[in-house]
Chains A and B, each alone.
Chain A
Amino acid sequence: MGEENVMSDDILVIAEHDGSNVVDVTFEMLSAARELAKDSGGKVLAAMAGGAALAGSLGAFDRVYLIDDPAVSNYSPEAFEKAFTHVVRDVDPGLVLTSTSTMGLDLAGGLSVAWPAPLVSYVVGLGREGDDVVATSQIYGGKLLAEVVVDSPHAICALIAGSFSGQPSPEAGSPDVETVSLEGIGPSRTSALAVHEPDSGGVDITAADILVSVGRGIGSKENLEIIEELAEALGAPLAASRPVTDQGWLSKPHQVGKSGKKVKPRAYLAFGISGAPEHLEGMRDSELIIACNTDPDAPIFDVAHYGTTVDLFDLVPELTECIQA
Chain B
Amino acid sequence: MVLLKQLPDLVEELEPSPDGTDIDREFIKFILNEFDDQALEEALVTKESSGAEVIVVALDEPEVDQVLYTALAKGADRAVKLTGVPAGTWVPTHLRAAILAPFVRELAPDLVLTGVQSAEDLDGQLASLLGGYLDLPHAAVVVGLEVKDSIARVVQELGSGRSVEEQITLPAVLGIQAASQAPRYAPISKIRQAMQAGGLEELEAPAPVDSADIAIAQVRIRRLYAPEKSTHAEMLTGDPGEVATRIAEILRSKGLVKA
Give A residues with C-beta under 8 Å from B.
Answer: 18, 74-78, 81, 101-103, 105-114, 116-122, 134, 137-152, 155, 158, 188-199, 209-210, 234-235, 246-248, 252-253, 255, 258-262, 266-267, 269, 288-291, 295-297, 301-311, 314-315, 318-319, 321-323, 325
Give A153 to B131 CA distance when docked, in angstroms: 24
Q: Is the CB of B219 within 8 A of A118?
A: yes
* Residue in contact with B159 in the complex, picked from A102, A193, A194, CB distance below 8 Å: A102
Find residues 208-231 in chain B having any chain A CB closer than 8 Å to their own CB. 211-212, 214-216, 218-227, 229-231
Find residues 13-41 in chain B having any chain A CB closer than 8 Å to their own CB. 13-14, 16, 23, 38
Q: Whose C-beta in chain B lies nearest to the C-beta of A307?
A: B233
Give A189 to B14 CA distance when docked, in angstroms: 42
Find residues 114-137 in chain B having any chain A CB closer than 8 Å to their own CB. 116-117, 119-133, 137
Task: Check A105/B226 contact, CB under 8 A, given A77-B139, A261-B160.
Answer: no
* Residue in contact with B125 in the complex, picked from A105, A139, A289, A296, CB distance below 8 Å: A105
Q: Is the CB of B250 within 8 A of A151?
A: no
| Minimum C-beta distance from A252 to chain B (A) | 7
Residues of B within 8 A of A262 (CB): 160
Q: Is the CB of A306 within 8 A of B250?
A: yes
**Chain A to chain B contacts (Cβ below 8 Å), 23 pairs:** A77-B140, A77-B156, A106-B138, A109-B129, A109-B132, A113-B133, A116-B215, A117-B215, A137-B122, A138-B227, A139-B121, A140-B8, A144-B227, A148-B221, A189-B172, A192-B165, A234-B256, A261-B161, A295-B11, A318-B245, A322-B244, A322-B247, A323-B248
Render B104-116 as a binary contact track against A, CB cut-off 8 A, 1 for contact. 0000000000001
Residues of B within 8 A of A151 (CB): 218, 220
Q: Is the CB of A148 within 8 A of B219?
A: yes
| Minimum C-beta distance from A263 to chain B (A) | 11
Give A206 to B16 CA distance when docked, in angstroms: 39
Give A143 to B7 CA distance when docked, in angstroms: 14
B149 within 8 A of A: no
* Residue in contact with A144 in the complex, picked from B141, B225, B230, B256, CB distance below 8 Å: B225
Task: Check A190/B166 contact, CB under 8 A, given A113-B133, A158-B124.
Answer: yes
| Minimum C-beta distance from A14 to chain B (A) | 14
Q: Is the CB of A102 within 8 A of B158?
A: yes
Give A308 to B241 CA distance when docked, in angstroms: 12
Please give me the 9 A-B residue pairs with the lowest Cβ-Cβ distance, nearest first. A109-B128, A198-B161, A113-B132, A307-B233, A318-B244, A322-B248, A109-B129, A304-B233, A314-B240
Q: Is the CB of B128 within 8 A of A110?
A: yes
Give A323 to B252 CA distance when docked, in angstroms: 9
Give A321 to B243 CA distance when docked, in angstroms: 12
Q: Whose C-beta in chain B lies nearest to the C-beta of A111?
A: B132
Give A113 to B13 CA distance when docked, in angstroms: 34
Residues of B within 8 A of A77 (CB): 128, 137-140, 156, 166
B167 within 8 A of A: yes
B147 within 8 A of A: no
Q: Whose C-beta in chain B lies nearest to the C-beta of A325?
A: B248
Q: Is the CB of A291 within 8 A of B127?
A: no
Q: Is the CB of B124 within 8 A of A108?
A: yes
B49 within 8 A of A: no
Task: Check A318/B166 contact, CB under 8 A, given A105-B128, A114-B132.
Answer: no
Q: Is the CB of B158 within 8 A of A18?
A: yes
Task: Check A210/B256 contact, CB under 8 A, given A106-B138, A191-B167, A315-B244.
Answer: yes
Residues of B within 8 A of A112 (CB): 94, 124, 129, 132, 215
| Minimum C-beta distance from A2 to chain B (A) | 13
B61 within 8 A of A: no
Residues of A within 8 A of B148 (CB): none
Residues of A within 8 A of B10 (CB): 140-141, 143
B70 within 8 A of A: no
Q: Is the CB of B243 within 8 A of A310?
A: yes
Q: Whose C-beta in chain B lies nearest to the C-beta of A200?
A: B161
